[in-house]
C-alpha cells in the first residue's frame, strides 16, 4: 500500500514537510536547522541554477568565489549592515587548535568581503563596471527553520556589481529584477510580482531593495528573490574608489542581488497538490516517466512491451525521461510514487495498448481521469513535447488565476483587515512608516512590495486616509 | 611597457604566484590562508567541473548537498579520522549570540556527516549502491598556504558511495581512479600516474587510498586527485547497515574520492612557461583571441579589418573566442597579455594581411616565430579547430616527455639519493614502513604511489635490499 501524505487543507505546514521528505527532495541534518538536499532536490536546484546562470552570463556577468570566512571587523564597518546581521552570525573562534586573535564570521552574505576585494581591484573608470556573481553557501542563525524556506545554512547565488554612476547601478538593479521575474514566470511558472520594498523591509545597508513576491498555495506571500541598490554605502565603508576620466577620485555605486534554494520551496508551495509535488516541465529533473504494465507471468507480453518502450525512448531526444520497470511494484504504486515526485507527464503502456498501437498519456497537473488520454505510439515523441509545453503554460495560468482570485482591493481599513487574512491585499499606502507599523501590529500582514506596475493617478492611504502615490501589496508572509 | 614576470628558473615559487595574480586567476583574501578565485580562474574551474561532472553522471552518480557544519562528536567517531583531521579544524563555538552546547566543526571532508545520513537512508540491499557526489567548499587549518595548491578554504567535489560488498566498493574506487586519470590526460593534458598510496600516506580512516600523481615544472610531484576504499570503517563508526536478501543485517562498504581546485595549480605548474600560463584548449576559458592591428589614424583600414574580424567570428561556431579591439594598447602589449593568460591560440590581422586574404595564427604552446604561421582567411575556422586539437595533443606529449626525461630508475640507494633530487625515482620497495621512513628522513622524498602498472616479476628494495613485489614512485612533493 502506498502511504498517502496529509492533505494540504488539513495541515499545510505538515503537508509541506511530508512532501519534501517523502519525495526525497531534502532532509533535516543532525545539526539543528541545517538541511541535506538529496539528489532529487539537488537535480531541481541544478536546473534552476543553469537557467539563472545562463541569464547572468548573457547579461555580461562572470562567476567567481570569495571566502567563506569574514573578519568580524568587516561586518562592523557598515552601521545598518551589522545591526541587521549581528544577531544571526555563526562565529569561528578556534582554528588549528588555537584561539583566534580576531573571530571569523561564517558569511551571512558577502557585501563586506567582496567590497574589500573590489577596493583592491578597482582603480580607474576603465575597470568599471565590475559584474560578478558567486554560487555559494551562507549561514544565518535562524531559530525557526523550515526546509528550503528558512534554514541555517542555505545555498544561493549572490551577484555583486560596482559602477561609475548611480544611474548605472540603478539600471543594473532593475535589470536583475527583470531577469528574476523572467526566470520565475517562464521557468518556474510562478507569477511573481516585481516591486520595491518599504524602508523597513529593505536589505540592511541598501538604499533601495527590490523583490519578487509570490503567492503560495496557502495564500501567504513568499519573497523569492531580491535585488538591492546599495548606493555608495558599502563603497564608502570599504573605500571602493576609482579615478574618473578627469583624474578625480570617486566612490563607486554598488548593487547586490540573490536567489536561493528558497526558490525550491516556492516551486513546491505554488504548484504542489494533495498527491504531492507538481514540477514545471522546463526545470523538472525528470519530465516524463514511462511505466510499462505487464500482467504476471506473461513473459512474451513483457518482451513486446519493453521493446516498444525502447523504441519510444529512442525517439525522445532531449526529453528528460525515466523508465520505471520495477515490475514487482504494482502499476498503481508506481503511479503514486511518480505523482508524489511531481513528474509532469507519464506514459502507461501495457499489452492491450500495444495491440492498439497506443499509449496512455497522463498529465500530473490534471489529476485523475481528466488528465489521461490515449495517444498513438506513432508520433508519441511529438505529442510528449507539445504536452510538456502545454503543461508549462497551464501551470503558470493556473497559478496566476489562483493568485488573482485571492487578491483583493479593499477600500476601507476594516475590509482590509478582513481580506488580508484570505490572501493578498492591494491598497494605497502613503509610505509613512507609522501606518506600516500599525497595520503590521493589527493584522500580522506586512508590505510585500510596492509593485513596479502602478495605476495612474493617486489615492488615499488605506490606514490614515492621507494622499498616497502608490499601491502596495500587503500579505502575511513566510 | 608590459611588466614581465620573473622567470621560472630564477624563483619557481615566485613565478607561480606572480602568474596567478597577474593573469587574474586568484588573489589572497584578507583572511589568512584564504583565496579569492577571480572570474578568469573560476571560468577554468567551471570547465574542469563540467568535464568531471558529466563523467560522474555518465557513471551513475548524482549530486547532492550536505551541511557545512559537523558536530565535533561525529569527527571523533572514527579513530584514525579524528587523529588525521583534529589538528586542522576550524571550530564554530558561538551562534546567534550564544555559546553552543556542542562546538560545530567546519567540514574538512564529509565522510562523517554523510555516513550519518546514509545510516538513516539505507535499510535494505535494494537501496544499494548509493552513488552521491557533492561540489562543496571545505576548510583545513593549514599553516603554510599556496594559491590553489594548499589554502585554508578550498573547493572540491567529494564523492561518497555505499555498496553491499567489498568487491563492489573496490570496483568503484578503481572506476573513479580511472575516470580521474582520463580527465587529467584528455582534458588537462597532464600525464598523471595512477597508483596506490603507501600505508603512511593514505587517507585517515581508509583501507586503501589511490591517487593520481603529476610532475610539476620544477620536477616536484603533486597529488592531483584521490580515491579511497574505506572498507567498513565508516560504516561501523556510523552504523550504516542494510538487510541483505537473506534478511541478515550487514555493514555497508563505502568509498570516497575527490578532486579539488588544486587541479588548477597542477594545470598551471605542468604547462606554464616564462611568458605565463599555457592552458589546454579543451578547458581553456578562452580558446582563441583575435587581435586586430590597425596603424594609427587609418579609419578606412580599421573598418575593413573589423569587418573581416566579424566575418571570421561568424564562422567559429563552438570555439570560445574573444576579440581584443583595445586599439589604444599596442599589438605587442596585447599579445603579451593574452600570452600571460595562456590563451591557446591567437589570430593577428591587419590591413596588409587582409589584402592578402590571410591572417597570422600564433600558438601559445610554441613561443616566438616558430609558433606563428600565415593561414588563408577562407577556411580559418577549420584551421583553428584543427590547431586546437593539435595543441591539446602536443601539450600532453610535451608534458609526458618532460616527465619521462626527469624520471630515473636508480638501482642503488646512493644513486637513488642523487636522482631523487632531480625528479621522479622509480624503484623497488619492500612495502616496509621503516624503509619508507628512512628514505624520507634522508632525502625528503616520499612515496608518491605504487603505480597500478607494474613490471613483471619482483626485485630488491632500494633501501634494505629485501625482496620487493612492486615498484614505487618516489619524489619530493607539494
Report yes or no: B116 at the A interface, CB cutoff 8 Å.
yes
Residue for cell digits 567489498?
A: B166
pTM of this structure? 0.97
Which residues are CB-contacts of B93 (< 8 A; sequence separation ≥ 6)?
A91, A92, A93, A94, B99, B100, B103
Across the range A45-67, mean pLDDT stands at 98
Residue A167 has pLDDT above 80, yes or no: yes
Residue B300 has pLDDT above 90, yes or no: no
Residue B406 has pLDDT above 90, yes or no: yes
Could you give the CA distance from residue B376 to residue B127 in angstroms, rounded to a whole number? 60
Work out the pLDDT band at B392, boundaries 50, 70, 90. very high
Across the range B107-123, mean pLDDT stands at 97
pLDDT at B385: 98
pLDDT at B374: 97
pLDDT at A318: 96
Helix orientation angle between A12-22 and A262-271, rounded to the nearest 10 degrees: 110
Contact B91 A93 (CB under 8 A): yes
Report yes or no: A104 at the B interface, CB cutoff 8 Å.
yes
Could you give the CA distance from residue B63 to residue B160 in angstroms, rounded to a whole number? 10
Q: How many other C-beta atoms can be found within 10 angstroms of the C-beta atom of residue A24?
A: 14
Across the range A214-237, mean pLDDT stands at 98
Work out the pLDDT band at B2, boundaries 50, 70, 90. confident
Cis peptide bond N-terminal to B129, omega within 30:
yes
**What is the percent of chain B where pLDDT is above 70?**
100
Residue pair B353/B320 in contact by the 8 Å Cβ criterion: no
A70, A95, A120: residue with CB nearest B141: A95
What is the nearest CA distance from B50 to chain A, expressed in angstroms?
12
Residue A24 has pLDDT above 90, yes or no: yes
Contact A68 B143 (CB under 8 A): no
Residue pair B232/B208 in contact by the 8 Å Cβ criterion: no
Residue for cell digits 631523487?
A: B420
Residue B307 has pLDDT above 80, yes or no: yes
Work out the pLDDT band at B298, boundaries 50, 70, 90. confident
pLDDT at A2: 78
Chain A partners of B34 at a C-beta cutoff of 8 Å?
67-69
Could you give the CA distance from residue B318 to residue A428 in angstroms, rounded to a whole number? 52
Contact B97 A86 (CB under 8 A): yes
Quote the cell numbers at residue A401: 488565476
Which of A64, A127, A264 to mutate to probe the B interface, most B CBs <10 Å? A64
Work out the pLDDT band at A79, boundaries 50, 70, 90. confident
Residue pLDDT, tens place only, B19-72:
999 999 999 999 989 999 999 999 999 999 999 999 999 999 999 999 999 999
Nearest residue to A155 via CA among A278, A61, A29, A46: A46
Could you give the CA distance from residue A449 to residue A247 in angstroms, rounded to a whole number? 41
Quote the cell numbers at residue A214: 509570490
Work out the pLDDT band at A81, boundaries 50, 70, 90. confident
Nearest residue to A353 via CA among A408, A312, A395: A312
Residue pair A423/A409 in contact by the 8 Å Cβ criterion: no
Across the range A238-259, mean pLDDT stands at 97
Nearest residue to B204 via CA among B76, B73, B72: B76
Across the range A47-76, mean pLDDT stands at 97
Contact B89 A97 (CB under 8 A): yes
Contact B67 A29 (CB under 8 A): yes
Residue A30 has pLDDT above 90, yes or no: yes
Nearest residue to A117 via CA among A69, A72, A71, A66: A66
Contact B64 A42 (CB under 8 A): yes
Contact B87 A95 (CB under 8 A): no
**CA dihedral for A100, A101, A105, A106, sign (positive or negative):** negative
Work out the pLDDT band at B81, boundaries 50, 70, 90. confident
pLDDT at A421: 95
Q: What is the DSSP letter of A81?
A: H
Residue pLDDT, tens place only, B184-230:
999 999 999 999 999 999 999 999 999 999 999 999 999 999 999 99
Which of A95, A136, A322 to mutate to probe the B interface, most B CBs <10 Å? A95
Could you give the CA distance from residue A10 to residue A224 in angstroms, rounded to a whole number? 25
Report yes or no: B139 at the A interface, CB cutoff 8 Å.
yes
Residue pair A351/A304 in contact by the 8 Å Cβ criterion: yes
Question: Which residues in chain B (13-52) have CB-CB distances under 8 A to chain A?
Answer: 27, 29-31, 34-39, 41-43, 45-46
What is the nearest CA distance from B26 to chain A, expressed in angstroms?
9
Q: What is the DSSP letter of A378?
A: T
Work out the pLDDT band at B143, boundaries 50, 70, 90. confident
pLDDT at A47: 98
Work out the pLDDT band at B295, boundaries 50, 70, 90. confident
Report yes or no: B329 at the A interface, CB cutoff 8 Å.
no
Predicted ipTM of the assembly? 0.96
What is the nearest CA distance from A154 to chain B, expressed in angstroms?
9
Averaged pLDDT of chain B: 96
Across the range A296-319, mean pLDDT stands at 93
What is the nearest CA distance from B66 to chain A, expressed in angstroms?
5
Which parts of B346-432 fold into alpha helices (H)? Answer: 351-355, 380-405, 413-419
> Domains (ranges, CATH) in chain A?
12-271 (3.30.930.10), 288-388 (3.40.50.800), 407-475 (3.30.110.30)
Residue pLDDT, tens place only, B355-368:
999 999 999 999 99
Report yes or no: B65 at the A interface, CB cutoff 8 Å.
yes
Contact A36 B155 (CB under 8 A): no
pLDDT at B3: 84
Work out the pLDDT band at A300, boundaries 50, 70, 90. confident
Could you give the CA distance from residue B403 to residue B192 in angstroms, rounded to a whole number? 9
Residue A108 has pLDDT above 90, yes or no: yes
Residue A446: its H or E element = strand A446-451
pLDDT at B188: 98
Across the range B397-418, mean pLDDT stands at 97
Report yes or no: B90 at the A interface, CB cutoff 8 Å.
yes
User: Which residue in chain A has the smallest CA separation from B326?
Assistant: A126
Residue pair B365/B344 in contact by the 8 Å Cβ criterion: yes
pLDDT at A80: 87
User: Which residue in chain B has the smallest CA separation from A40?
Assistant: B64
**What is the percent of chain B where pLDDT is above 90?**
94
What is the nearest CA distance from A88 to chain B, expressed in angstroms?
5
User: Which residue in chain A has the smallest CA separation from B87?
Assistant: A96
Chain B partners of A113 at a C-beta cutoff of 8 Å?
29-31
Contact B92 A89 (CB under 8 A): no
**CA dihedral for B159, B163, B166, B172, sign (positive or negative):** negative
Chain B partners of A30 at a C-beta cutoff of 8 Å?
71, 74, 113, 116
3-state secondary structure B278-336: CCCCCCCCCCEEEEECCCCCCHHHHHHHHHHHHHHHHHCCCCCEEECCCCCCCHHHHHH
Residue pair A380/A288 in contact by the 8 Å Cβ criterion: no
Work out the pLDDT band at A143, boundaries 50, 70, 90. confident
pLDDT at A295: 86
Nearest residue to A467 via CA among A475, A477, A459: A459
Report yes or no: B238 at the A interface, CB cutoff 8 Å.
no
Residue pLDDT, tens place only, A88-103:
999 999 999 999 999 9
Contact B37 A141 (CB under 8 A): no
Residue B80 has pLDDT above 90, yes or no: no
Across the range A296-325, mean pLDDT stands at 94
pLDDT at A299: 82
Residue positions counted in chain A: 478
Residue pLDDT, tens place only, B427-462:
999 999 999 999 999 999 999 999 999 999 999 999
Amino acid at each position: 500500500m502506498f502511504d498517502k501524505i496529509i492533505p494540504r487543507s488539513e495541515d499545510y505546514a505538515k503537508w509541506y514537510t511530508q512532501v519534501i521528505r517523502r519525495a526525497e527532495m531534502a532532509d533535516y541534518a543532525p545539526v539543528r536547522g541545517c538541511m541535506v538536499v538529496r539528489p532529487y532536490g539537488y537535480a531541481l536546484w541544478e536546473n534552476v541554477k543553469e537557467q539563472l546562470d545562463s541569464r547572468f552570463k548573457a547579461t555580461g556577468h562572470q562567476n567567481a568565489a570569495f571566502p567563506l570566512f569574514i573578519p568580524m571587523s568587516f561586518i562592523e564597518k557598515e552601521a545598518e549592515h551589522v545591526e541587521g546581521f549581528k544577531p544571526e552570525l555563526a562565529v569561528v573562534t578556534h582554528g588549528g587548535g588555537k584561539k583566534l586573535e580576531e573571530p571569523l564570521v561564517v558569511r551571512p552574505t558577502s557585501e563586506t568581503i567582496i567590497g574589500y576585494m573590489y577596493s583592491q581591484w578597482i582603480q580607474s573608470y576603465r575597470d568599471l563596471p565590475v559584474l560578478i556573481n558567486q554560487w555559494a553557501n551562507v549561514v544565518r542563525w535562524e531559530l525557526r527553520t523550515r526546509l528550503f524556506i528558512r534554514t541555517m545554512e542555505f545555498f544561493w547565488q549572490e551577484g555583486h556589481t560596482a559602477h561609475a554612476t548611480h544611474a548605472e547601478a540603478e539600471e543594473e538593479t532593475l535589470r536583475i529584477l527583470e531577469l528574476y521575474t523572467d526566470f520565475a514566470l517562464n521557468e518556474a511558472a510562478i507569477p511573481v510580482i516585481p516591486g520595491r520594498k518599504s524602508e523597513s523591509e529593505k536589505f540592511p545597508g541598501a538604499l533601495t531593495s527590490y523583490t519578487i513576491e509570490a503567492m503560495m498555495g496557502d495564500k501567504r506571500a513568499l519573497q523569492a528573490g531580491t535585488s538591492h541598490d546599495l548606493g555608495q554605502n558599502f563603497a564608502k565603508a570599504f573605500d571602493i574608489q576609482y579615478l574618473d576620466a578627469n583624474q578625480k577620485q570617486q566612490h563607486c555605486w554598488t548593487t547586490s542581488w540573490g536567489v536561493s534554494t528558497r526558490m525550491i520551496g516556492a516551486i513546491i508551495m505554488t504548484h504542489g497538490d494533495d498527491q504531492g509535488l507538481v514540477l514545471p516541465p522546463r526545470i523538472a529533473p525528470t519530465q516524463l516517466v514511462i511505466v510499462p504494465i505487464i500482467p504476471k507471468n506473461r513473459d512474451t507480453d513483457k518482451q513486446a512491451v519493453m521493446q516498444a518502450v525502447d523504441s519510444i525512448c529512442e525517439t525522445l531526444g532531449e526529453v528528460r525521461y525515466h523508465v520505471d520497470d520495477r515490475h514487482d511494484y504494482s502499476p498503481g504504486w508506481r503511479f503514486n510514487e511518480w505523482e508524489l515526485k511531481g513528474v509532469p507527464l507519464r506514459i502507461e503502456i501495457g499489452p492491450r495498448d500495444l495491440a492498439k498501437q497506443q499509449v496512455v498519456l497522463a498529465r500530473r497537473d490534471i489529476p485523475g481521469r481528466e488528465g489521461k488520454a490515449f495517444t498513438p505510439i506513432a508520433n508519441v515523441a511529438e505529442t510528449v513535447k507539445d504536452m510538456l509545453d502545454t503543461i508549462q503554460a497551464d501551470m503558470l495560468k493556473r497559478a496566476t488565476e489562483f493568485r488573482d482570485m485571492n487578491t483583493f482591493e479593499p477600500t476601507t481599513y476594516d475590509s482590509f483587515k478582513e481580506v488580508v487574512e484570505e490572501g493578498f491585499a492591494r491598497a494605497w499606502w502613503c509610505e509613512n512608516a507609522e501606518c506600516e507599523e500599525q497595520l503590521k501590529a493589527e493584522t500580522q500582514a506586512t508590505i510585500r512590495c510596492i509593485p513596479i506596475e502602478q495605476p495612474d493617478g493617486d489615492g488615499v492611504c488605506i490606514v490614515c486616509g492621507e494622499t498616497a502615490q502608490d499601491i502596495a501589496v500587503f500579505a502575511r508572509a513566510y
